[in-house]
Structure 1
C-alpha cells in the first residue's frame, strides 16, 4: 500500500489525501471538516456514485437494495454493523434500486439484495442474497488492504 490514499468524504464528496498512518485517527475532511468515517453505510445516488466509486482508494462495498424488499430489510442491520466493524479499511454504501433505476440497470442488478465490491472504479466481486454478519464480513475480508 502506498504512503497515502484518497478517501472521498461521505458528506461533501471532496477527495481527501490521507496518510495511511492517520487512517485510524478519526480523520476529518479538509473541505467540510466532518468525519471521513461515520460508522454507517453511505447512501449512493446518481449524483455521488461515480466519485465515491471511482476516486476512493478504499474498496467500496455496495448493497443494491429496495425499500419493499424483505430480505434487504432483514440484512440492513448486519450491513450497518459491518460498516461499524470494518471502517476505515473499507467504505460500505447502499444504493436504492427503485430510486436509481439507471444505475441498477447499468450494473445488471436482477435480484436484490445484491452486494458488489468496487476497487479502483471496477467491480471485483459480487454476491446475491441476504447475508448474516459473519458471512458478510468473511466475504469482504479478502478484498481489504
Structure 2
C-alpha cells in the first residue's frame, strides 16, 4: 500500500481505472483512457489497475463495480464513479483539478 501512496501523492491529477480482463467494458475503456492520456500529456497520469492482481487495494477502496474510475490529487480522492465514461467527459473532469 505504501507504493500506492507514492503513486497518488502528486501535484498532478491521477486517474485510476479499476478493471478486470474478463469484464466486457474493459477494452472500450482502455481505448478511451488511451485517448485521455494522449490529450492530457504530462498534465495528468492515467493508471489502469487490474482488480484481480490488486485485490487488497481494491478491497481497501471498496471497488465493487467495474470499471471504477477515481481521480486523486495530492494524495486525496477528488472524484469517483463506476461505469464507462467517454473521453471528453473524463478530460473535462480531470481538467477541473489541474
Q: Deviations over 1:44-95 (max 9, x none)?
A: xx573221112x2111110011111111221111101111110211111111
- Cα distance in 1 between the residues matched to 2:15 and 2:70: 6
CA RMSD of aligned residues (A): 1.4
Q: Give the aligned partner of residue 72 of structure 1.
A: 26
| Larger helix percent | 2
Contact 2:13-2:94 at 8 Å conserved across structures: no
Contact 2:37-2:46 at 8 Å conserved across structures: yes
Number of residue pairs matched by the alignment: 98
Q: With structure 1 as the length reference, what TM-score do the two structures score? A: 0.63
Check 1:47–1:80 CA distance in 2 against 1; reply closer, same or farther (3 A cut): farther
Which stretches of structure 1, 4 residues or longer, exceed 6 Å deviation after superposition?
Answer: none
Q: Which runs of 5+ in 1 are unaligned?
A: 1-45
Instruction: Give the structure with higher Rg (CA).
Output: 1
Q: Give the aligned partner of residue 3 of structure 2.
A: 48
Higher relative contact order (CA 8 A, sep 6+): 2
Q: Which runs of 5+ in 2 are unaligned?
A: none
Aligned pair 1:62/2:16, yes or no? yes
- Cα distance in 1 between the residues matched to 2:94 and 2:12: 12
Q: Give the secondary-structure state (helix, strand or coil) at the position aligned to 2:29.
A: helix
Q: With structure 2 as the length reference, what TM-score do the two structures score? A: 0.90
